[in-house]
Structure 1
Amino acid sequence: MDIDIGTVLELTVGPVAQGGHCVARLPEGQVVFVRHALPGERVRAVVTERRRGYLRADAVEVLEASPDRVEEPCRYAKPGRCGGCDWQHATPDAQHELKAAVVRELLTRIGGLSELEVEDLRVRVEPLPDGPLGWRTRVQYAVDDAGRPGFRRHRSHDIIPIDRCLIADPRIQEAPVTDRTWPVRGGGVEVVATTGGDLTIFTRPRGGRQVRLVSGPRIVRERAVGREWRIDATGFWQVHPAAPDALAEAVLGFLKPQPGERAWDLYGGAGLFAAALAPVLGPKGRVTIVESDPRGVTAARKNLADLPQVHVAPGDVAAVIANPRWRSVDLVVLDPPRAGVGREVVESVTDRKPRAIAYVSCDPAAFARDVATFADRAYRLTALRAFDAFPMTQHVECVGLLEPTSP
């Protein structure tokens, strides 16, 4: 049956799925991915996209509401407006369960785990302090053709100008950004508010990597794992202020490092996990950070210069650890970008037979895919913690422990 974009459908909403939507079905079985709805609701939804085998739609009227539904605090978190927040219409507890359900489903469908194995992991999403509003310490505004900053519609290049983002750190909300136009049409304005007290604003031209500092320091201060860090404001750092300590604590708890062991911190950035591991491994231990971004390499070398057991190897992770001189390792931390690590890295890591691997992931689908690859290499997922490091959005941060299936 052909259904045009703009058609209004009356739907009974089913389970949550990855991507910030729930699944509904038409009477003939066609799948509809519905945003701005919750499981169990009955809604009227406008079709926004037609694809082979399924539709996308926005719920514009709720006929029977879930008990977990609340009024969105932000006026831009509505159908057809800002696409940044997926779950402002759900209570915080409901958001945590929606994300946990997504993780469980992906580990079964993509990760190859049985329902019993997933049940044994007891997947739950742990809240972090400072949520669910006012937590985001790094915000990227897109700039439209009139020079106005804003955010993009869901699955669109259209920019919705805004006056305030409620999930942003209060310092970012008050920064002089949304009350003016910017001469970077098609580019962006980025604001960083650090745990060390710095506020930096810079612009990025359309399609360009070169940035122009508008105000604040280029090298900013962050605080995590009992240290003060100095990093490039344009480089990577966790956007939730509580995330670095929570993730480092989870990694240490899973790996249980012992004095004298050797560890790899792959995709190590500024060296957060290396800094947490080094004091426990002691002077006879060794931590090697592998990082491809020059900003991360510089930050790791400067910030961890007081830790002689930490070494930094610049370069692509897959290329660096494929070198046969990288022989023995006891512990591995993986903190890859959203795409995950892939088979080549999994094979290189498992060839060294570490006793434990901690995998930090911001994309549960990529994580689940890599869990399946690790299983092919006789490493299984034995523990998992998930954190709501991105409240009001679909995103969730997972830390998994992978161990060899036999000693």
Structure 2
Amino acid sequence: METDMQLDRRTLLVSLAGATAALSVPQSVAAAFAPERFAAARKDDRGTYSAALFDLERGDLRSVELPSRGHDIALRPGGKEWVAFARRPGRFGVAVPMDGREPVWFSSKPDRHFFGHGVFSADGRLLYTTENDYGRGRGVIGVRDASAGYKQIGEHAGYGVGPHDLALLSDGRTAVVANGGILTHPDRKREELNLADMQPSLVYVDIESGDLVEERRLAPELHQLSIRHLTVAQNDTVVFGCQYRGPERDLPPLIGFHRRGEELVVLPTPDTTQAALNNYIGSVTADASGAIVAASAPKGGLITYWDVTARRSLGTCALGDGCGLAPTHRSASFLLTSGDGSLATGGADGIVARTSSRYHWDNHAILVR
């Protein structure tokens, strides 16, 4: 009995010492070891759509049910909230506060619809969204006041057809926009109306004035290579992924690189991989260092990896219906999400860990913290 009491007392003292040490660890250090938080849209087996903030240890931290399929997520600078967007041709957006307050819903104008992507201004005050002015057959960038319930306060030209994804360069003022070049109309559902003469482009816009800063187009023989998703990697290198709308037998390169003032460069994967991509890149994101980019090919069940400086392929890993990508806090490491319910972490050396969920994850994911 005496021995048991001594052990219990020793255990208690060790526990108290550990607790005291934990309490004395600086908050910034403790946060570095906290589970990474991500956000993504998804669907469950009942067909219910939602978007969620989650980590890989505890699962959902907060979720919101969506009226229809979601697409991408944007994080407001300062970490106050995240915004989920409707997939084209949806018209809703929802801002979800981190502190548990009620979500704030907003919508596009009646004669517009979202393309599923948006980005905040560097100070977090404004939200910019890619939209379709389908009556005029042109793309626009909506401007919303995040501090006033996401009320729309303006609109910029998108300088092309089908502006899909956009991101800010390091100056906090220049936005790069991926114009897919494909004309659509919500009355025609997802039908693509101009494949014979589509003109995809990559454009740079002064996001404050709305002025066009630079425009780059693909070579004429690649005019059916729709530029869809992009990421800004190290040294403001824009890496973009394409979806080919020409003959299936063609196997054009799908991954592009660009820096302002230079020519576009679009590169193939090694011969053994190119055909397996099925002419479709689904999502593109840079790792924590900005030196490595992952690009998913969900129709081929592959994730490709690229060295940004050398502009060369680093290899692939397999993930069935894998599309959503987000950086982790570690260099060369990514969260990978799949439409079959898988959540994985990995990189060019392969998948490190994988788990299954009851959700079918949509096309994109982001790192929140």
Same fold (TM over 0.5): no
The two structures have a TM-score, normalised by structure 2, of: 0.31
TM-score normalized by structure 1? 0.29
**Which one has more relative contact order, counting CA pairs under 8 Å at least 6 apart?**
1
More helix by share: 1
